[in-house]
Structure formats: structure tokens, C-alpha cells
């Protein structure tokens, strides 16, 4: 388990630009090291801003996008193309603008997909897809170079909500029913799967996130505050704007 480090940027726009630059560098480093790269995407306002910032970076063209695998950390179980799906957001902001290999884009199933309207079947199908991409005989999951997460006001990450039964799930992917945040039905990577990533980046902006961020970094229990229970194998990085970092102890902050 890696110790958390914190980088604080002045505002949400600068945060998005900084995360975008970090992501391009991380993908380039992974390709230099392994010949390919793998990223797990998240959803939300700040994530969309990051994806737009990546698309606007001239350095994006240094990445060989045909050798990037794209996965998702969670998804709203809605029909394909629904504007509320994280996939739809990411495609519009970035994925449709770079030359990715369609076979290496791995969206979580939609409610009108091959698994039909059964989120448990959809979760099982995504777990099987992850397993097929893993190194044979070595791992149940593929290598994730970086896994990005937003942080909810209640401290949820992906679709792992406080005190929700999915917190205790050991399978890599789970259906989520009764989500406290609409829509009520989702699919998500579980904490054990999230914590296999080489690097985990928690990205948060806005004063409404400050309490959850501060509590997570102060050592809150992960059942009550799932953001406190995620970590990368090599690195855990909190990327915040000043508003979201208001309750972070000064000794943990690295100002940008």
C-alpha cells in the first residue's frame, strides 16, 4: 500500500489542466516502459474538464493512442448513448477525438446491451472482459497504470457508497442497487479491484468536497467513507483545488 500525497491547485480550471498534463506524461511513461498503457476513467464535472484539457493539449499527439486500453471504474446502468453515462461523457470530451483502437475501449455494459436489463449479468460480463485482458496465469485483472476517481460529497468513490453492501464485495465488479445517488442502478469496480492499480488518483474540486477529503486524509474508516479505503500499489495521489483542500492538514499539502 502506498502512502497518500496531496497536490493542491488554485482553482478547478488549473486543476483540470494539471491532471491532464500528468495523465499524458503517465501514458507516455507507461508506453516507454511496457509498450502500452492502461487507464481507468471516472465521471463527473471535473473528470469531463480533465478530458477536455487532454484533448486540447498539443502533447496529446505524443501518445500512441492505438496502444492505450481504456476502462471505466463505474457506470450508470442506462441505455447506450444516454448523456448520463460516464462513457458518453468521456467519448464526447476526449475519446472520439483521438485515434484509439476501438477494440481497446472497454465500456461497462449498458442496460440495453447484450446482458440485457440485468445489472448482475452486466457486472459478471465486465469481470470476464477484465479477466480476458489479464496476463494468463498471472492475474485476474489487467495492469492498470492509472485509475482515476472522483470523490463524492459523502466520500463515495466509483459507485461504492458509504455503508453500502458493495463495500464488502470481493469480486472485481459488482452491480449496485439502491444507490443513494441517482440513478439507483449501477455497476462498479469494487475496492479490491481498484486497489490493484499501479497509481490511484483521487480528483476533487469545490467546497462541497472539502469535508469528505479532509476526513479521508485524516484516517476515517473506509466503510463509512470509501475514499479512505482506496490506494495505488505504487502511488496514491490526491489532486485537489484549494476549495476541496480546505480541511486538509497543511503538512500534507503541496501547493501548485
| Rounded Cα distance, 36 and 30, in Å | 6
Phi, psi of 186 (to 5 degrees): -145, 175
What pLDDT digit, counting tens, does each position of 37-71 carry?
Answer: 999 999 999 999 999 999 999 999 999 999 999 99
What pLDDT digit, counting tens, does each position of 97-149 carry?
Answer: 999 999 999 999 999 999 999 999 999 999 999 999 998 766 789 999 999 99
Between 29-33, 82-86, 250-254, the lowest mean confidence (pLDDT) is in 250-254
3-class state of residue 238 by DSSP: strand
Instruction: Classify residue 81 as exposed, middle or buried by CB count within 10 Å of its CB (0-12, 13-18, 19+).
Output: exposed
Q: Give the CATH number for residue 139.
A: 3.40.50.1360
Instruction: Classify residue 154 as exposed, middle or buried by CB count within 10 Å of its CB (0-12, 13-18, 19+).
Output: middle
Residue 28, CB-side half-sphere exposure with 13 Å CA sphere: 11
pTM beyond 0.75: the answer is: yes
Count: domains in the chain? 1
Strand 186-189's sheet: what is its strand order?
74-76, 186-189, 173-176
The residue segments making up the domain with residue 226 are: 4-252
Amino acid at each position: 500500500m502506498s502512502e497518500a500525497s496531496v497536490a493542491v491547485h488554485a482553482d478547478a480550471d488549473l486543476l483540470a489542466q494539471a491532471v491532464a498534463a500528468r495523465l499524458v506524461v503517465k501514458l507516455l511513461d507507461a508506453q516507454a516502459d511496457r509498450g502500452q498503457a492502461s487507464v481507468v476513467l471516472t465521471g463527473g464535472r471535473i473528470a469531463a474538464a480533465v478530458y477536455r484539457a487532454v484533448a486540447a493539449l498539443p502533447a496529446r499527439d505524443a501518445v500512441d493512442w492505438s496502444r492505450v486500453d481504456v476502462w471505466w471504474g463505474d457506470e450508470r446502468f442506462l441505455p447506450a448513448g444516454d448523456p448520463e453515462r460516464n462513457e458518453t461523457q468521456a467519448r464526447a470530451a476526449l475519446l472520439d477525438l483521438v485515434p484509439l483502437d476501438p477494440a481497446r475501449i472497454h465500456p461497462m455494459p449498458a442496460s440495453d446491451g447484450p446482458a440485457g436489463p440485468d445489472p448482475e449479468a452486466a457486472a459478471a460480463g465486465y469481470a470476464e472482459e477484465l479477466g480476458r485482458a489479464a496476463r494468463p496465469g498471472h492475474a485476474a485483472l489487467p495492469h492498470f497504470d492509472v485509475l482515476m476517481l472522483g470523490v463524492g460529497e459523502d466520500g463515495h468513490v466509483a459507485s461504492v457508497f458509504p455503508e453500502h453492501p458493495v463495500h464488502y464485495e470481493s469480486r472485481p465488479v459488482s452491480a449496485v442497487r439502491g444507490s443513494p445517488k441517482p440513478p439507483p442502478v449501477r455497476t462498479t469496480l469494487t475496492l479490491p479491484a481498484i486497489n490493484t492499480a499501479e497509481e490511484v488518483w483521487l480528483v476533487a474540486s469545490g467546497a462541497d468536497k472539502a469535508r469528505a477529503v479532509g476526513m479521508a486524509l485524516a484516517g476515517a474508516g473506509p466503510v463509512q467513507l470509501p475514499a479512505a479505503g482506496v490506494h495505488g500499489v505504487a502511488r496514491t495521489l490526491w489532486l485537489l483545488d484549494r476549495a476541496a483542500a480546505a480541511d486538509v492538514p497543511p503538512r500534507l499539502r503541496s501547493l501548485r
